[in-house]
Structure 1
Amino acid sequence: MKRKLRPVMFVGTCSDAGKSILNTAFCRIFLQDGYTPAPFKAQNMSLNSYSTPEGGELGRAQAVQAEACRIAPHTDMNPVLLKPTHEKSSQVVLNGKPVGNMSAKEYFGKQNNKDNLFREAIAAFNRLQERYNPIVLEGAGSISEINLRDRDITNMRMATKAGAATFLVADIDRGGVFASVFGSIYLLPPEEKALMKGIIINKFRGDASLFEEGKQILEKLTGIPVVGVIPYFTDIKIEEEDSVALEMKQNSYQQGKINVAIILLRHLSNFTDFDVLEMDSRFNPYYTNNIEEIEKADIIILPGSKNTIADLQALHFNGIARAIVRAYKAGKKVIGICGGYQMMGARIEDPQGIEGDTAIIPGLGILPQCTVIGKEKVTLQSQFYFRDEPTTVCNGYEIHMGHTFLIGNATENPVAFLKDGRKDGYYLNDSCWGSYLHGILDNSVVLNHLAAGLIQESTRTFDYARFKDEQYDKLAEHVRKNVDMEYIYSVL
């Protein structure tokens, strides 16, 4: 039996420093070394979420990290999830279930709220620690937001409570690494600085040996060792945590590929639904709200949204709704996932004002259906059969609020037949359908259906689960080669 390791935590000098990726790497490294690791992030703010086998909801990043550990995701890995619904408001998901909406002022301004949530986070961490070894914690944003220190439940306050050996991750690619590292350490009180065991310089371009003098300067300035310099990489494919990554994915039409225009919504959620399209060489996916780029595409996908009504209003206002309808009438493939599926109907109703002040809004009018937004949230992992493929079991998951029903004389024509007896989605024809199932495209049978008629070689078996597992191993090797693992184990 492996010795019990101290919890380890990765915090950042800024957002997008690479904490999630390093957490994922160390989850796989510890697994490879014979331990039973599990990820943990006390509070996550993201529209990219995932369903657990028990029907809870957690941030997608922790689900990815659990996958790297080869364990099922559990809400204890991310007890507090904030899902922005408006400019100043977020849905609060506690231990996998929504408990209401709060403005930022309400969330950060009421100490009782944060104390209660922190107690829940500590309880979740303790439950995890009883089952796994070690716990790999992730911070959020920057540890230098000293105005929020007393109310922060994610960074050094959590590290202190967990007694975690903590490593500061800095993104050298964005510049200012000396100031950001020194400033982050300098602003820590003594009891928190005592937890800081190392500095990791991330996203280094070029010959890392050239930074040897820089390491020495940082160690002299901070009194903390630089335990790794991680080279920048583009050849390892790991799901990104949040929509910052979308800025890098707004490419455009490519000749000789199946071009997939994914509508860039303001409240776009679960964009990882489309990562598989980047891995399959038949497709060229791009995120866009440019009408010309939309009309050039072979396939148009309406993705999920955390505020479906607000995003639908924007599509009507900026002319994208008309462009999608024109593309559908011209025979282009038009697909809707979750909120995008709801948008494709005749109308969306929100009688309880859950998403805002608009009680009813016309949809795109493509599918013969209506959706009523409700308070009950569906969060499920689902196995299903796609259309007329009863021999191939597919996997997906559901996260949605709202009930969709057929109108007029329409008869049901499901996209998916779920193994629990339910039916999902509406299949208008080979070029147009919608589904509530996130991850539906991760299945080869669905990808082949999407490619059919658009490229000569349209049938392929792409094992996305196996591909992702190989990427975790590649990431672990990349990080292991560039950090002092002997030192890291010595402080655990």
Structure 2
Amino acid sequence: MTAGICRWLARQGIRVAPFKAQNMSLNSFVTRDGAEIGRAQAMQAAAARVEPSALMNPVLLKPGGDRTSQVVLMGKAVGEMSAAGYFGEYGRREDLLAPVVEALEELRRTHDAVICEGAGSPAEINLRRSDIVNMGLARAAGLPVLVVGDIDRGGVFASLFGTTALLAQEDQALLAGYLVNKFRGDVRLLEPGLEMLRKLTGRPSLGVLPFQHGLGIDEEDGLRLSLRAAVREAASAPPHGADVLRVAVLPVPLMSNFTDVDALAAEPGVVVRFSDRPEELADADLVVVPGTRGTVKALGWLRERGLAGALARRAAEGRPVLGICGGYQLLGERIEDEVESRAGTVEGLGLLPVRVRFHREKTLARPQGTALGERAEGYEIHHGVAEVSGGTPFLDGCRSGSVWGTHWHGSLESDGFRRAFLRRVAADAGRAFVPAPDTGFAALREEQLDRLGDLIEEHADTDALLRLIEKGAPAGLPFIPPGAP
């Protein structure tokens, strides 16, 4: 919804920026000045047609397990913390609200409008005292608020009313209305409920957006095969007489930046699936080991499930394997980790002539280079530093036989390089695969963002949205006490 509003405003010639005060995600991105932010905010910046900035996501939490996260403040990692520690000591509201509000004010000074995304629900009353991303931010900055309900999950009216009733009176004063998302069917059947909701709360619904099939954008988190399939729908069938290329992606623990494989799925004739059993790798032409925030943990997971042996057999048979970032590191000979897992020295899978040592300082970079005769660019986010002792250089990583490894996220979005890599993979796999010469990943992503903008323009009350942006929440909104009506 945030991305769609940003694209709609940008098309009106309004200089708009996205903002999310606090994001929890393992999918992140590196800005041109070397700051790490949530990948969702980078996607929203693309929707707004502006350069991503740390100002757009001042606090990023990167989970390292069920109870711990790395805290990234204004694009730089500042420490590892438990949930209790984050919401207790360092995460005291006054410690983080000030830089968050300063970042928002800077964006407001340099843009005509800023669209702020919340997180989870504004009615998480157990976290309200430390909240800096939902109503805590809205009250601190005086922002009008719309609550979005996902009707595809069911219970949308109860959710919208209950959310309103659980908010404090000062918070309710900023809640100006509702948006309903992912509706299937005739909207006229929903209108009586929307009118009843307006009478109960005194707040209008500013739009009902229909469910859209084949809509794929960069996700914050959550493994969704439909995301890959959605992007692929925009592409044509494989060239006549060409084989289909099958790609298996291993869903390793704490998987990060799985969006790397979206560009593969966008290629006509490439089928991408997530596989976690050795037998599912047997018919794959390429296996991808993606990034992870827990390299040593992922290594243990591969061994426990028999996937380590399956990868070794592939390498021995000359069948392609690609490791990206943490996936590249665990394909090496040895890992020395006193930072992420603190496991000390751990033997890797030994498929690449690489030794990795984890440093406390995180590498954040936007590299460019050449591989397979084509230009490529990407971004790096890692604590592990690789020492390569052999093989063939490959995007600052290496290749040994049919096993490839690189720290570069996003490199497969470079169209010429992606096609050259797929041709090499197809040759190694014995496939007659021919990449389509006109598949441009950036253009496909732009089409998806335009579709989001179209949804807002066609199905939301854009005049009401502009009034909220220009004038804020209207005065005199009624207070709904808990338990009403």
Instruction: For 2:329 and 2:417, locate their aligned partners in 1 and report how far apart those are by CA, in whole Å.
Output: 20
> What is aligned with 1:365?
350
> What is aligned with 1:470?
447
State the identity %: 40
Counterpart of 2:364 (choices 351, 358, 379) is: 379
Instruction: For 1:51 and 1:242, locate their aligned partners in 2 and report how far apart those are by CA, in whole Å.
Output: 17
Instruction: For 1:401 and 1:360, locate their aligned partners in 2 and report how far apart those are by CA, in whole Å.
Output: 15
Q: Does 1:427 align with 2:399?
A: yes
1:203–1:231 CA contact under 8 A, matched in 2 = yes
Counterpart of 2:248 (choices 257, 261, 266) is: 261
Counterpart of 1:85 (choices 55, 64, 67) is: 64
Counterpart of 1:440 (choices 375, 391, 411) is: 411
Counterpart of 2:259 (choices 241, 252, 272) is: 272
3-state SS of 1:414 partner? strand
Which letter maps to 2:383?
Answer: M
After superposition, the C-alpha distances for 1:371-407 in whole angstroms (9 at most, x for unaligned) are 01111111111222123x2xx4322111111111124
Instruction: For 1:167 and 1:455, locate their aligned partners in 2 and report how far apart those are by CA, in whole Å.
Output: 52
Counterpart of 2:180 (choices 181, 196, 201) is: 201
1:250–1:288 CA contact under 8 A, matched in 2 = no
Gaps of 5+ in 2: 231-241, 470-485
Structure 1: 4+ residue segments shifted above 6 A: 247-251
> What is aligned with 2:100?
121
Q: CA deviation at 1:449?
A: 2.7
Q: CA deviation at 1:111?
A: 7.0
Q: CA deviation at 1:256?
A: 5.3
Q: How has the CA–CA distance of structure 1 residues 371 and 82 changed in structure 2, closer, same or farther, with 3 Å as cutoff?
A: same
3-state SS of 2:193 partner? helix
2:286–2:320 CA contact under 8 A, matched in 1 = yes
After superposition, the C-alpha distances for 1:197-244 in whole angstroms (9 at most, x for unaligned) are 110111111222221112112212221101111101123332222125
2:178–2:205 CA contact under 8 A, matched in 1 = yes
1:24–1:68 CA contact under 8 A, matched in 2 = yes
Instruction: For 1:58 and 1:464, locate their aligned partners in 2 and report how far apart those are by CA, in whole Å.
Output: 22
Q: CA deviation at 1:445?
A: 2.4
Q: CA deviation at 1:113?
A: 3.4
Instruction: For 2:28 and 2:208, locate their aligned partners in 1 and report how far apart those are by CA, in whole Å.
Output: 30
Q: Does 1:354 align with 2:359?
A: no
Counterpart of 2:205 (choices 195, 220, 226) is: 226
> What is aligned with 1:404?
386
Instruction: For 1:61 and 1:250, locate their aligned partners in 2 and report how far apart those are by CA, in whole Å.
Output: 19
Instruction: For 1:206 and 1:225, locate their aligned partners in 2 and report how far apart those are by CA, in whole Å.
Output: 21
Instruction: For 2:315 and 2:156, locate their aligned partners in 1 and report how far apart those are by CA, in whole Å.
Output: 49
2:26–2:220 CA contact under 8 A, matched in 1 = no
Counterpart of 1:331 (choices 303, 318, 321) is: 318
TM-score normalised by structure 1 residue count: 0.88
2:277–2:306 CA contact under 8 A, matched in 1 = no
After superposition, the C-alpha distances for 1:456-491 in whole angstroms (9 at most, x for unaligned) are 423524221122122211210122111111121122
3-state SS of 1:460 partner? coil
Which letter maps to 2:244?
Answer: K
Q: How has the CA–CA distance of structure 1 residues 415 and 264 changed in structure 2, closer, same or farther, with 3 Å as cutoff?
A: same
Map 1:15-414 → 2, pairs under 5 A:
22-110=1-89, 113-245=92-224, 257-350=244-337, 353-387=338-372, 389=373, 392-407=374-389, 410=390, 413-414=392-393
Instruction: For 2:225 and 2:3, locate their aligned partners in 1 and report how far apart those are by CA, in whole Å.
Output: 20
Instruction: For 1:112 and 1:363, locate their aligned partners in 2 and report how far apart those are by CA, in whole Å.
Output: 36
> What is aligned with 1:7?
none
Instruction: For 2:91 and 2:153, locate their aligned partners in 1 and report how far apart those are by CA, in whole Å.
Output: 37
2:228–2:265 CA contact under 8 A, matched in 1 = no
Q: CA deviation at 1:250?
A: 10
Q: CA deviation at 1:157?
A: 0.8
Instruction: For 2:186 and 2:263, locate their aligned partners in 1 and report how far apart those are by CA, in whole Å.
Output: 32
Which letter maps to 1:365?
Answer: G
1:386–1:445 CA contact under 8 A, matched in 2 = no
1:139–1:154 CA contact under 8 A, matched in 2 = yes
> What is aligned with 1:488?
465
TM-score normalised by structure 2 residue count: 0.90
Instruction: For 1:446 and 1:114, locate their aligned partners in 2 and report how far apart those are by CA, in whole Å.
Output: 46
Instruction: For 1:226 and 1:276, locate their aligned partners in 2 and report how far apart those are by CA, in whole Å.
Output: 37
Instruction: For 2:309 and 2:229, locate their aligned partners in 1 and report how far apart those are by CA, in whole Å.
Output: 21
Q: CA deviation at 1:108?
A: 1.2
3-state SS of 1:116 partner? helix
1:250–1:286 CA contact under 8 A, matched in 2 = no
Pick which of 261-270 and 218-227 moved more.
218-227
1:243–1:271 CA contact under 8 A, matched in 2 = no
Q: How has the CA–CA distance of structure 1 residues 112 and 406 changed in structure 2, closer, same or farther, with 3 Å as cutoff?
A: closer
Q: How has the CA–CA distance of structure 1 residues 244 and 427 changed in structure 2, closer, same or farther, with 3 Å as cutoff?
A: closer
Q: How has the CA–CA distance of structure 1 residues 206 and 34 changed in structure 2, closer, same or farther, with 3 Å as cutoff?
A: same
1:107–1:114 CA contact under 8 A, matched in 2 = no
Which letter maps to 1:396?
Answer: G
1:376–1:402 CA contact under 8 A, matched in 2 = no
After superposition, the C-alpha distances for 1:307-336 in whole angstroms (9 at most, x for unaligned) are 111111111122111111112222221001
Instruction: For 1:347 and 1:449, locate their aligned partners in 2 and report how far apart those are by CA, in whole Å.
Output: 30
> What is aligned with 1:419?
none
